[in-house]
């Protein structure tokens, strides 16, 4: 069965199929083993596409949480020439790695 879906998490959209692993913004899930995404925008099953307005009712994506981690550091530099002004800042984004287990369409 060729099934894939597009869901929304953390203000971003992800296209996934069963067995995919991906990194999303950190999830504040009470259950540390798995999570469910219910903001599904689109699904495709064997070429038959369903589009939500804005979300699909009764369609959920179940995912297993693998680990929480920090991304590589991003450096931001402010610079003004001829005035000896230089500011360097940086941050590391909090992420969660997940494995897509099933798509209930």
Going from N- to C-terminal start, the domains of the chain cover: 3-68+97-104
> How many C-beta atoms surround the C-beta of residue 44 within 10 A?
18
Q: What is the pLDDT along the chain (105 residues), one digit of tens a residue?
A: 689 999 999 999 999 999 999 999 999 877 778 999 999 999 999 999 999 999 999 999 999 999 999 999 999 999 999 999 999 999 999 999 999 999 997
**44 neighbors 4 (Cβ within 8 angstroms):** yes
Buried-state track 48-64, b at ≥16 Cβ within 10 A, e below 16: eeeeeeeebeebbbebe
Place of tokens 């540390």: 32
pTM: 0.85
């Amino acid at each position: 069965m060729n099934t894939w879906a597009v869901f929304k998490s953390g203000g971003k959209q992800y296209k996934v199929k069963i067995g995919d692993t991906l990194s999303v913004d950190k999830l504040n899930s009470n259950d540390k083993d798995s999570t469910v995404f219910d903001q599904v925008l689109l699904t495709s099953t064997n070429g038959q596409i369903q589009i939500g307005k804005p979300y699909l009712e009764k369609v959920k994506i179940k995912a297993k949480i693998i680990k929480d981690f920090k991304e590589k550091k991003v450096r931001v530099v402010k610079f003004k020439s001829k005035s000896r002004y230089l500011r360097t800042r940086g941050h590391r984004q909090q992420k969660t790695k997940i494995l897509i287990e099933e798509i209930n369409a």
